[in-house]
Structure 1
């Protein structure tokens, strides 16, 4: 019955019982928490600095009221029930995305460099080897059988 097709339930059971699903779930949860950190970084630290640099520009109040009315703030337009095109909010979200991408880039870059340094140290450590007298391949010095030619040593 090796060639028998699995139904939806069988395929789902196989998918859900693999370890990758748990890894993915952990990644999503950590990603959600990481998103909150980045949002706080942008909203509480970076955007105030950008606001000071740009002379106090508040992106959240950049909008177009689609009913043609004039409103001082986005909150006022929404309170009056006006449909609005909130391009300032969009700019803020784009900045959030770019900053998150930069932070993730630096995090991954740092982790890759650390991994490379650790793997180089492991590679530098001399591995105890000997030469198989039959096939002349390098093998572990404690081996009792050659993994290449299967000769007993």
Structure 2
């Protein structure tokens, strides 16, 4: 009985450590934000983009999303889902590209070298000495 209690406590402690780790919490937050962002993107596609696209893809006498082949094969809805996916993928691509461009600008600003002329001269001198040492070693291997 004592072994079962120890195993249960060990299992509970292991699970607690796993669930409270930063990665799991970050994943949960990302999942919730992703769901909310998905709703925003879906609304963007359905309410703003598709009303502009529908007149371009019209069929005489019916909505192109209601086309079906035989009973129960809704090919219009399938093509509509493909169009929705392509639009969502494009919007996400543009958003991610903009975020990456913004991050690159931040990284470049953070990586600007110091303009201390003494430090720059010292780095150049060190590089020249290293290069000279390598050249001498290749010419005279006894050194």
TM-score (norm 1): 0.59
Instruction: Label 1:88 to 1:15 Cα distance change in 2 as closer, same or farther (>3 A).
Output: farther
Structure 1 residue 108 displacement after superposition: 1.3
Structure whose residues are more often helix by fraction: 2
Output the CA distance in 2 between the equivalents of 1:63 and 1:9.
53
Specify which structure has the higher proportion of strand: 1
Q: Which ranges of 4 or more aligned residues in structure 1 deviate by more than 6 Å?
A: 127-130
Greater relative contact order: 1 or 2 (C-alpha under 8 angstroms, separation 6 or more)? Answer: 1
- Quote the residue 1:89 is aligned against: 77
Match of 1:13 among 13, 16, 21: 16
Question: Which segments of 5 or more consecutive residues in structure 2 lack a partner in the other structure?
Answer: 1-9, 120-125, 127-143
Partner in structure 2 of residue 63 of structure 1: 68
Alpha-carbon distance change, 117 to 64 in structure 1, aligned in 2, over 3 angstroms? same
Residues 55 and 16 of structure 1: CA distance in aligned 2, closer, same or farther (over 3 Å):
same
Question: RMSD across aligned C-alpha pairs, in angstroms?
Answer: 2.9
Matching residue of 1:36: 39
Distance 1:63 1:94, change over 3 A: same
